[in-house]
Amino acid sequence: MVKSAQRIVAHEPGAQALGLFLDQKLGDARALIPTLDVQPAEPHADMALLGQIARWCDRYTPMVGLSGTDGVMLDVSGCAHLFGGEAALVARLRAQLTGQGFTARLGLADTIGAAWGLARFGEAPVAPPGDPAPLMPLPLEALRLDPALVTSLRRLGLKTIGCLAPLPRAPLTTRFGADLLRRLDQALGRGEETLSPLLPPADLTAEKAFFDPITHADDIERSIALLAHALIPMLEQRDQGARALELRLFRVDGAVQSLDVEAANPLRDPARISALFRQRIVGLAVDIDAGFGFDLVKLAVIRSEVFPGNQGDLVSGVENADRYEALIDRLGARLGPERVRGFVGADTHIPERSFGTVPVTRLAAGTAISPVGAARVPPVTRPLWLLRRPEPVDTLAEVPDGPPQRFRWRKVGYVATRTEGPERIACEWWRDGRAAPTRDYFRVEAREGYRFWMFRHGLYAREAGVPRWYLHGVFA
Strands of the sheet with 204-214, listed across from one edge: 204-214, 294-306, 240-251, 256-267
Q: How many of the other CB atoms lie within 10 Å of CB of 33?
A: 12
Predicted confidence at residue 301, as pLDDT, reads: 93
Predicted confidence at residue 355, as pLDDT, reads: 77
What pTM value is reported for the model? 0.63
Q: Has domain 204-333 been given CATH number 3.40.640.10? A: no
Report yes or no: 230 and 222 within 8 Å, Cβ to Cβ: no
* Series of mean pLDDT values for 10-residue runs along the chain (476 residues): 78 84 87 89 90 90 89 90 90 91 91 93 89 91 92 92 92 91 92 86 89 88 93 91 91 87 86 87 70 90 80 51 68 76 81 80 56 47 86 90 92 94 88 88 94 92 86 90
Domain boundaries, the chain: 1-41, 48-188, 204-333, 385-474
Report yes or no: 348 and 354 within 8 Å, Cβ to Cβ: yes
User: Rounded CA gap, 346 and 140, in Å?
Assistant: 60
Which residues neighbour 160 within 8 Å (Cβ) at sequence distance 6 or greater? 136, 137, 138, 139, 140
Predicted confidence at residue 377, as pLDDT, reads: 46
Taking phi over 0 as left and psi of -120 to 50 as alpha, with beta for the rest, 61 belongs to beta
Predicted confidence at residue 365, as pLDDT, reads: 52
Q: How many of the other CB atoms lie within 10 Å of CB of 217?
A: 13
